[in-house]
Chains A and B, each alone.
Chain A
Amino acid sequence: MHWAAAVAVFFVVITKFLQYTAKYHDKWIANLAPANELSKKYFNKMKERHELKELNNTISAQDNYAKWTKNNRKLDSLDKEINDLKNEIKSQNKAFQGNLQKLRLLALTVPFFVFKIVYGKTPIYKLSSSTSTLFPTFVTGVWSQGWFYVVLHPLRTISQRWHIMEGKFGTAKFDAVTLQSVSLGIWVWALMNVINGIEFIVNQLFLTPKMGPPAVAETQEEKKLDVSDNAFILD
């Protein structure tokens, strides 16, 4: 395997792994994040609140109204402190997650993007001459040069034909060897499409719950009036 393809596969695997395990990320982050002062304080307050609530439930509100009310005031104050701590922990977690997102961006997304830009035209493998001649030059041009070929090809053609800004858009004609290769950019694009296609099929076939039969409205059978007798009885 070409080293560029191996690097691309590595990035794709990491990206897909993160995508498939997205629902476990919060749990992992919670386990990773060190137990800090705030969390300890929060748990202590919760414990205190629980104990006070239990104590207050044992006191008769009518017989010990003052003590019961003082406990209620403490409970209200604890609730407020717990809420403040919860918000602080949430914002701390949010900041931590934000840092992780930045880390992901700097360690994964940006490098992969830069790699594709820099090495996007690296030929990963060569097509046989019979295969490459099966398709129009435009198609093999895209395979070997990437999607930017689509934009530049008309400009190159016009530039060459009417001698306007010649050489500014690169050469219009590529040699046969170049046209017989598949570039890294297109190869990665194709790989992602294949993976997405497989994902879709697996999702639809195995992971989507089966739908029940459509509900049918119950219809009352019409009573058939069978008049067999002409006689009628008077009251």
Chain B
Amino acid sequence: MDLTVEPNLHSLINSTTHKWIFVGGKGGVGKTTSSCSIAIQMALSQPNKQFLLISTDPAHNLSDAFGEKFGKDARKVSGMDNLSCMEIDPSAALKDMNDMAVSRANSSGGEGQGDDLGSLLQGGALADLTGSIPGIDEALSFMEVMKHIKRQEQGEGETFDTVIFDTAPTGHTLRFLQLPNTLSKLLEKFGEITNKLGPMLNSFMGAGNVDISGKLNELKANVETIRQQFTDPDLTTFVCVCISEFLSLYETERLIQELISYDMDVNSIIVNQLLFAENDQEHNCKRCQARWKMQKKYLDQIDELYEDFHIIKMPLCAGEIRGLNNLTKFSQFLKKEYDPAANGKVIYELEDKE
């Protein structure tokens, strides 16, 4: 029995079970390109399913990658029926929350309390106050995930079979992935407090008649669902993206160890920006040769270190990989590994995107 692992993402692209796919790594290694490529290939391979690509990076790039504007609401990619994109905008989301809080305060008040709260929040004060809190982007992305799960369970609105996350550079993503655990512990503590203080807390909320205990229990159940889904290897996986250089590999190693400690499945590594200089006799230079030699050295080490991982080796293209056509051409190498001899010309055939 051949136990070698395929150097492609064929099994993931054709997977019918995965609901959450995270694509992450160090800054500048090609996370956005890789996440877009994975999303496109999955959408092309499974045309009957709906896919959503969410960017959780505060410095969004999805719009730039596809060459069209995406916002906080999911919008279909032009030219594809089953792939939508979303860029979570913390300030807009917070402004929505602010407006909701204002309207709720104004409708329930009218006698001093409500007016005071309403006037306090008018003008987006809540958004201003909370918008710059560190970690707010991760919290809002997490809220989006919870909203999505709730919608799926209730069968409301537009549902997606698989969500692909274009994540922020490593540190932010790890913080995002820690949220279910952190929230779980926090909610447990809150639960103990509300059980002890009970109705007294509700009376503090005034005329709002908000059942704090009920809300907390609902939130706790949602967070627990997400935690279970994120640790189920059939439902969730993390695809690491790196380049063949020491710093990137070291960070990838730390990322993988951290993900393993969270019980998250990680079995694929995309190594980007490879030169394959020895196969390119026509366009070659001393610098490329030297650089390729260095990359090869690390590639051999990667093969030895991650023998049970899918190691996908992607070429450095001659042009920018922007627009649906270029992304589709580039993404084919995720499904069937890049062969420098046979596919060498493709990297020079990317269209110029203005």
Contact = CB atoms under 8 A, between A and B. Distances in A.
A69 B246 contact: no
B309 interface: no
A4 to B, nearest CB: 53
Interface stretch (A58-66, A116-124, A180-188): A58-66
A62 B305 contact: no
A70 B305 contact: yes
A122 B352 CA distance: 108
Nearest to B305: A66
Interface in B207-251: 246, 249-250
A76 interface: yes
A64 B253 CA distance: 15
A65 B257 contact: no
A73 B305 CA distance: 11
B304 interface: yes
What interface size band does chain B fall in? Answer: 10 to 19
A65 B249 CA distance: 9
Contacts of B246: 61-62, 65
Contacts of A66: 300-302, 304-305
A61 B301 CA distance: 11
B142 interface: no
Given A61-B246, A65-B246, A65-B249, A73 B301 contact: no
23 contacts: A61-B246, A61-B250, A62-B246, A63-B297, A64-B301, A65-B246, A65-B249, A65-B298, A65-B301, A65-B305, A66-B300, A66-B301, A66-B302, A66-B304, A66-B305, A69-B250, A69-B253, A69-B301, A69-B305, A70-B305, A72-B253, A73-B257, A76-B257
A106 to B, nearest CB: 37
Given A65-B298, A65-B301, A69-B301, 9 more contacts: A62-B246, A63-B297, A64-B301, A66-B300, A66-B302, A69-B253, A72-B253, A73-B257, A76-B257
A72 B254 CA distance: 10
Contacts of A72: 253
Contacts of B304: 66
Interface of A: 61-66, 69-70, 72-73, 76
A95 to B, nearest CB: 28
Contacts of B301: 64-66, 69
Contacts of B257: 73, 76
Interface string B256-273: 010000000000000000
Nearest to B253: A69
B87 to A, nearest CB: 35
A73 B302 CA distance: 15
Contacts of B300: 66
Contacts of A70: 305
Contacts of A61: 246, 250
A72 B256 CA distance: 13
Interface string B297-339: 1101110110000000000000000000000000000000000
A220 B230 CA distance: 70
A203 B327 CA distance: 81
A76 B301 CA distance: 20
Nearest to A65: B301
Nearest to B306: A66
A79 to B, nearest CB: 12
A61 B246 CA distance: 8
Contacts of A64: 301
A76 B253 CA distance: 12
Contacts of B302: 66
A62 B244 CA distance: 11
Pick the most buried of A62, A64, A70, A73: most chain B CB atoms within 10 A of its CB: A62
A70 B307 CA distance: 12
Contacts of B249: 65
Interface in B259-301: 297-298, 300-301
Nearest to B245: A62
Contacts of A63: 297
A65 B306 CA distance: 12
A66 B297 CA distance: 10
A61 B305 CA distance: 13
Contacts of A65: 246, 249, 298, 301, 305
B302 to A, nearest CB: 8
A64 B301 CA distance: 7
Interface string B157-185: 00000000000000000000000000000
B254 to A, nearest CB: 10
A70 B304 CA distance: 10
A51 B253 CA distance: 23
A70 to B, nearest CB: 7
A64 B297 CA distance: 9
A66 B298 CA distance: 9
A70 B305 CA distance: 7
Pick the most buried of A63, A64, A65, A76: most chain B CB atoms within 10 A of its CB: A65
Nearest to A62: B246
Nearest to A64: B301
B338 to A, nearest CB: 22
Interface string B11-32: 0000000000000000000000
Contacts of B297: 63
